[in-house]
Chains A and B, each alone.
Chain A
């Protein structure tokens, strides 16, 4: 089958560059290593007050009384905002105009629907006074019993999961497939609630000037935040200026503007002065999203040669009592393994928690650890090496849809990572390897896949008469390296050296760059930048090729190439002219061009677009203590074109460490009586420390994909987690013979 798509046709006027692909150090690096990078909470406008949230200690019920007088009597406290005096909003914070408008708790009433919900905001001259004022409110409650576990409420089938996927999907006849199978497995896995815990707590500095609003706050989606605030306050989006040059981590929790951030804006409105509001760490366990818990059951059938005859992946999850977000865990089984019959299904309950939201690889990470564990169980049931089993069931087309992949270098990932890891010498049976110190040693593999998503973005490019360039897009850098990677794309797009390009981002008064999420920011905003560059170069080329005085006159049919600040005739590179010369002759100080980035509908219909990877893990388990140590991780990833390998490697490492964390560390533990999370802090909610992280290797597999977008970019932000968590779990099994079915795997699970 030949598929012809006109995505990557060479335009008449092209750019050639060398910035893309270079392992440049971060352009924001100097600011970050010197402490000069200004995060939201580092701003301090004159006259600013401090706001501190008072939050509910119950999970469900209502606030019966608050000692506002005691708080106000504390020296330095200026005002206490409660449902009684909270400034009016133009829209109901409980209204839901579309599925991705999430309901916010903005002191609309006294009702409490989850622990750590805001019940008042104390505003004071100092942080200390505001903090103590919040404590002095000494709330009294009328509490109702909390519903905290997956069995505590009535189960239902949600209307959609994730970003609107059907809750139940079928291909073929799973029951028939299971019936015809020679070997079958069925296993249930549980994953806990997890919290993003970006190092930077959500923070906002808000200042009103009449009906104009100025905000410093971390945001993964500036235009969406602007739109939400516009709707809530009834002011035009252009009257809201949000600056978010640096996010101290986001991982999904800063994708949508959260309730506390809007409360900062309300507090500023109430007191008529600029206000800073920063969440305390424990307050991040509720109003800013989390990864919902799941219980997943996988049933698989295999024929006599280890080929899958059926996969049924069922997931039970939870949302809040007042809003809808359903972790699409079972959908992880749509993409990876070939099977004539696949069913994915979801059910859910409503619990007294904050609304779960997108958290790095939502659905994929949760579903993958269960799927990869089950695949391992299936391989073992068939007496096959887990890698061989995965290759036996390699999907040549997307299993659920039958669509061809736009590109898929997964075989190369398997082979290179396996070789680097030394997989070939792995014994089939568990509990056979010990190291010199007597530790049980195990090796496991996991496969990773993540969709190559694109959103919508715009960019504006300018070429100036001094020969320099400017590229603007409201992109967001939460650590993935947007400041650098986009500057590289901009440089190539403008045919300039990177130091000749002024790249501006992180502000809502720039063109909408879409959201930094779904691993789609580099592709989306990158394409907008690329196209804006093309547009301005085309204008420049028109100026030159249409002017008799230019050495490029008449080249319009042949086209020109932009490189190093000059245009060259494509058919005769001896004829060229600098940008400065062209603009100066035309009497222009600057010219501009605009570009958009968006998914291509035609190729979307035709192709399944995914990044892929394979991760191999080695763990060592103390046979007496059950203490697990990950000692080696080797991953290989194919994710289309790599803009900056230095940054991409960091993204893969980070993702892989999140995978270790998923398998071994993270879990929010709730007191069943009160519904409160008992480890809402960084001492007892465990994320890995440096000593937990072993030798990590990430191999970048070359992959050309002409269909995802003209730049061939897929996305690397989330795929590292996927596969890694399962690889670690499978390695634990291989070391101990104990199959982990509940995550994180803890000492007590392996004590025997």
Chain B
């Protein structure tokens, strides 16, 4: 790991000002940044530690929704009683992520900045070509080991999979990310790789995530996060789905549906086609399974990751049907 200067931000403004400086990065839980610094991917000159800033770790839940400070820890949010009861998919996405230790370190703001696990991205000493690391250098992953790579949202420049769980649930429920003055839908915060895979987030120099806001909805209240993976735990998703549902008064007709996919795309992937296809329909297994296939419309595989195209719609269908059962 290259050496760097270390400072503690004395205030939010100081942190923002520091973040505007070239070579300076904000340090929160460190679970991504320190890891990537050891891999030689992150090479900051200066780290500005924001974990001691006061008041940024609050979790407030009321009728309108949840507001979670950027420094709230994943583990605390997962175990928060009101999050569990009003936003089950958020809690489930969190407790199924990483390990208990990492969840005690990682902040929700830092979690949104989590980088891909693509081994070509993570191995600069071994693979010089990576458009995400070095724009224009090429993509080593294409033609390589791709079992864990994305099938949705890819480009010729990058097929790296977004590995997170929480953001998948956030985009399903129209959460917004607050960057001080500015706020964005989480869905818009994450960028498709296109021809600029180095630019992953719609965040500008000098901006800092201050909080996440999740609006209340009936669908968020009746929601789940289903994660399928090779190991039973401590493992990234092979495919996952955050799903929320609201029924009409008859308890069978779908009024509102939210579906987002994880483990299969270059960013947290809202599957609006599935939502639209099922809204107004009566919840029937066959209808749900057929509609769920729309989740992977346009998917492109790279051989070893083909199974994700088969798997993801099944995960979506199961999650929807499971929520239906609890009526």
Name the CB-closest residue of A to B147: A669
- Chain B residues with Cβ under 8 A from A690's Cβ? 233
B240 CB to closest chain A CB (Å) equals 11
Contact with B233, one of A128, A132, A674, A691 (Cβ below 8 angstroms):
A691
Does B126 contact A676, Cβ atoms closer than 8 Å?
Answer: yes
Contacts A625-B314, A674-B126, A674-B127: A665 and B231 contacting too (C-beta < 8 A)?
Answer: yes
Q: Is B231 a contact of A692 with CB atoms below 8 Å?
A: yes
Closest-CB distance, B134 to chain A (whole angstroms): 15
B7 within 8 Å of A (CB atoms): no
A604 cross-chain contacts in B, Cβ below 8 A: none
Residues of A within 8 A of B194 (CB): none
The answer to whether A679 has its CB under 8 Å from any CB of chain B is yes
Interface size on A, residues (CB 8 A): 33
Residue A97 at the chain B interface, CB threshold 8 Å: no
Question: Are the C-beta atoms of A691 and B311 separated by less than 8 Å?
Answer: no
User: Given that A689-B232, A691-B232 are known contacts, is A678 also in contact with B3, CB under 8 Å in the complex?
Assistant: no
> Does A686 lie within 8 Å of B235, measured CB to CB?
yes
B160 → A minimal CB distance (Å): 13
In angstroms, Cα B126 to Cα A291, docked, is: 23
- Contact mask for chain B residues 1-24; partner A; CB cutoff 8 A; 1 contact, 0 none: 111000000000000000000000
Min Cβ gap B176→A in Å is: 31
What 0/1 pattern do residues 221 to 249 of B give for CB contact below 8 A with A? Answer: 00000001111111110100000000000
Q: Contact flags (1/0) for A134-162 with B, using CB distance below 8 Å? A: 01000000000000000000000000000
Q: Establish whether residues B314 and A131, one from each chain, have CB atoms under 8 Å apart when the complex forms.
A: no
* A395 beta carbon closer than 8 Å to chain B: no
**A132-B2, A747-B311 are contacts. A683–B117 as well, Cβ < 8 Å?**
yes
The answer, yes or no, to whether B40 is at the interface (CB within 8 Å) is: yes
Indicate with 1 or 0, residue by residue over A394-419, a CB within 8 angstroms of chain B CB atoms.
00000000000000000000000000
Q: Is the Cβ of B1 less than 8 Å from the Cβ of A132?
A: yes
* A392: interface (CB < 8 Å): no
Is there a chain A Cβ closer than 8 Å to B143's Cβ? yes
CB distance from A128 to the nearest CB of B (A): 7
Cα separation A744 to B161 with both chains bound (whole Å):
23
Chain B: how many interface residues by the 8 Å CB criterion? 33
* Interface presence of A339 (CB below 8 A): no
Instruction: Kindly provide the distance from the CB of B32 to the nearest chain A CB, expressed in whole angstroms.
Output: 13
Q: What DSSP secondary structure best describes chain A's contact surface?
A: loop
Give chain B residues whose Cβ lies under 8 Å from the Cβ of A678: 119, 144-145
Using Cβ atoms and an 8 Å threshold, which residues of chain B touch A665? 230-231
Contacts of A624 in B (CB 8 A): 314, 317-318
Q: Are A135 and B238 in contact (CB under 8 A)?
A: no
Contact A747 B231 (CB under 8 A): no
A672 CA / B318 CA spacing, docked (Å): 36
Mark out the residues of chain A between 714 and 752 whose CB falls within 8 Å of any chain B CB in the assembled complex. Answer: 746-748, 751
Shortest Cβ distance from A165 into chain B, in angstroms?
34
A322-355 interface bits toward B, Cβ cutoff 8 Å, 1 = contact, 0 = none: 0000000000000000000000000000000000
Q: A689-B234, A751-B307 are in contact. Are A684 and B1 (CB under 8 A)?
A: no
CB within 8 Å of A: which B125-148 residues: 125-127, 143-145, 147-148
**A691: which B residues are within 8 A, CB to CB?**
231-234
Q: Is A276 on the interface with B (CB-CB < 8 A)? A: no
Whether, in the assembled complex, A13 has its beta carbon less than 8 Å from a beta carbon of chain B, the answer is no
Is residue A202 contacting chain B, with contact meaning CB distance below 8 A? no
Determine whether A57 belongs to the interface, using a CB cutoff of 8 Å to chain B: yes
Asked whether A671 is an interface residue with its Cβ less than 8 Å from the other chain, the reply is: yes
Docked complex Cα distance between A622 and B228 (Å): 10
CA distance A319 to B245 in the complex (A): 55
* Chain B residues with CB under 8 A of A649: none
Contact: B145 with A747, CB < 8 Å?
A: no
CB contacts (< 8 Å) of B125 on chain A: these are 57, 135
B310 beta carbon closer than 8 Å to chain A: yes
CB nearest to A129 among chain B residues: B3
Q: Nearest chain-B residue to A750 (Cβ)?
A: B307
Given A625-B228, A625-B315, A669-B147, check contact A748 B119 (CB 8 Å). no
Contacts of B306 in A (CB 8 A): 748
Known: A678-B119, A678-B145. A629 touches B232 (CB 8 A): yes
Shortest C-beta distance, A685 to chain B (Å), equals: 11
**Residues on A with beta carbons closer than 8 Å to the beta carbon of B311:** 625-626, 747-748, 751
> How distant is B292 from chain A, measured CB to nearest CB, in Å?
11
Chain B residues whose CB sits within 8 angstroms of the CB of A321 once the complex forms: none
User: Which residues on the A side are within 8 Å of B119 (C-beta)?
Assistant: 678-679, 684
A625-B314, A627-B228, A678-B119 given; A128·B1 CB < 8 A: yes
Contacts of B232 in A (CB 8 A): 629, 689, 691-692
The reply on A554 being an interface residue by CB < 8 A is no
Q: Residues of A contacting B238 with CB < 8 Å?
A: 747
Evaluate whether A671 and B2 lie within 8 angstroms (CB atoms) in the complex, with A625-B228, A683-B117, A689-B232 already known: no
Which listed residue (B1, B231, B318) contacts A131, Cβ 8 A?
B1
Q: Is A673 an interface residue (CB 8 A)?
A: yes
Taking a contact as CB atoms under 8 Å apart, the answer to whether A746 and B230 are in contact is yes
Q: Is the CB of B230 within 8 A of A689?
A: no
Q: Given A624-B318, A683-B117, A691-B232, decide whether A671 and B307 contact each other with a Cβ distance below 8 A.
A: no
Taking the complex as formed, is A192 at the interface, i.e. its CB lies under 8 A from any CB of chain B? Answer: no
Q: CB-CB < 8 A to B3: which residues of A?
A: 128, 132
- Assess the B231–A688 pair: CB atoms within 8 A: yes
> Smallest CB-CB separation from A751: which chain B residue?
B310
Within 8 A of A (CB), among B249-268: none
Chain B: CB-nearest residue to A630: B232
Q: Which residues of A contact B117 (CB under 8 A)?
A: 683-684
Give Cα A503 to B1, complex, Å.
Answer: 44
**Alpha-carbon separation in the docked complex, A690 to B233 (Å):** 8
Other-chain contact of A671, B1, B40, B144, B318 (Cβ < 8 Å): B144
Give Cα A746–Cα B311 distance, bound, in whole angstroms. Answer: 12
B181 to chain A, nearest CB (A): 37
Counting chain B CB atoms within 10 Å of each CB, which of A131, A624, A676, A678 scores highest? A678
| Neighbouring B residues of A683 by C-beta, 8 Å | 117, 235-236
Give the docked Cα–Cα distance between A391 and B310 (Å). Answer: 41
How many angstroms from the CA of A688 to the CA of B234 in the assembled complex? Answer: 10
Query: Which of A131, A624, A665, A746 has the largest number of chain B CB atoms within 10 A?
Result: A624
Closest chain B residue, CB of each to CB of A135: B40
Give the most central of A132, A622, A674, A688: most B CB within 10 Å. A674
A752 to B1, CA, bound (A): 45
* Complexed CA–CA distance, A131 and B123 (Å): 15
- CB within 8 Å of A: which of B281-327? 306-307, 310-311, 314-315, 317-318
Give chain B nearest CB distance to A306 CB in angstroms.
Answer: 36
Give the chain B neighbours of A689 by CB distance below 8 A: 231-235
Residue on B nearest A54 in the bound complex, by CB: B125
Rounded to whole Å, the gap between the CB of B230 and the closest CB of chain A is 6
Task: Tell me which residues across on chain B come within 8 A of A748, comparing CB atoms.
Answer: 306-307, 310-311
- Bound-complex Cα distance A475 to B311 (A): 51
Within 8 A of B (CB), among A493-508: none
Chain A residues lying within 8 Å of B1, measured Cβ to Cβ, are: 128, 131-132
Q: Which residues of B contact A684 (CB under 8 A)?
A: 117, 119, 148
Mark interface residues in B23-45 (1 if CB within 8 Å of A CB, else 0): 00000000000000000100000
Q: Which residue of A lies closest to B125 (CB)?
A: A57
Q: Which residues of B contact A (CB under 8 A)?
A: 1-3, 40, 117, 119, 123, 125-127, 143-145, 147-148, 228-236, 238, 306-307, 310-311, 314-315, 317-318
A interface with B by C-beta (< 8 Å): 57, 128, 131-132, 135, 622, 624-627, 629, 665, 669-674, 676, 678-679, 683-684, 686, 688-692, 746-748, 751
**Cβ contacts A to B, 6 pairs, < 8 Å:** A135-B125, A676-B123, A688-B231, A747-B311, A748-B307, A751-B311
Task: Identify the 10 closest CB pairs spanning chains A and B, nearest first.
Answer: A748-B307, A691-B233, A691-B232, A57-B126, A678-B145, A624-B314, A678-B119, A689-B234, A692-B232, A671-B144
Query: 11 other contacts beyond A128-B1, A625-B311, A626-B311, with CB at 8 A cut-off?
Result: A128-B3, A672-B144, A673-B144, A674-B126, A683-B117, A686-B231, A688-B231, A689-B231, A689-B234, A691-B233, A748-B311
